[in-house]
Copies of this chain bind each other. A is one copy, B any other.
Amino acid sequence: MAITVVGSVAYDTIETPAGKRERCLGGAATYFSLSASFFTDVRVIAVVGEDFGKRQEAVFQARNIDTRGIEHTAGRSFFWEGSYLDNLNEAKTHSTELNVFAAFNPKIPDAYRDSEFLFLANIDPVLQRRVSLGLPDVKLIAGDTMNYWIKDHRAALLEVLKGLDILLINDTETKMLAGNNNLVQAARAVMAMGPKALVVKHGEYGATLFYGATPKGKSAGSAFRAPAMPLEEVVDPTGAGDSFAGGFFGYLASQPEQSPAAFRRAMFYGSVMGSFACERFGTERIQKLTRPEIDERFNLFRELTHLA
Contacts and interface: CB of A to CB of B under 8 A. Distances in A.
A88 B218 CA distance: 20
A126 interface: no
A225 B304 contact: yes
A206 interface: yes
A183 B208 CA distance: 21
Interface string A176-188: 0000011111010
Contact of A225 (B182, B218, B305): B305
Contact of A231 (B184, B225, B231, B308): B184
B304 A306 contact: no
A307 interface: yes
A120 to B, nearest CB: 25
Interface in A285-308: 300, 302-308
Contacts of A210: 230
A55 B308 CA distance: 42
Contact of A182 (B217, B224, B233, B302): B233
A210 B232 CA distance: 13
A227 interface: yes
Contacts of A202: 205
Most buried by B among A223, A304, A308: A304
A54 interface: no
Contacts of A88: 181
B302 A265 contact: no
Interface of A: 88, 181-185, 187, 202, 204-206, 208, 210, 216-220, 223-225, 227, 229-234, 261, 264-265, 268, 300, 302-308
29 contacts: A182-B231, A182-B232, A182-B234, A183-B230, A184-B232, A205-B205, A205-B206, A206-B225, A208-B230, A216-B232, A217-B232, A218-B232, A219-B230, A219-B231, A220-B230, A220-B303, A220-B304, A223-B230, A224-B304, A224-B305, A225-B227, A225-B304, A264-B307, A264-B308, A265-B307, A268-B307, A305-B305, A305-B306, A306-B306
The 7 closest A-B pairs by CB, nearest first: A205-B205, A225-B227, A219-B232, A184-B230, A184-B232, A305-B305, A264-B307
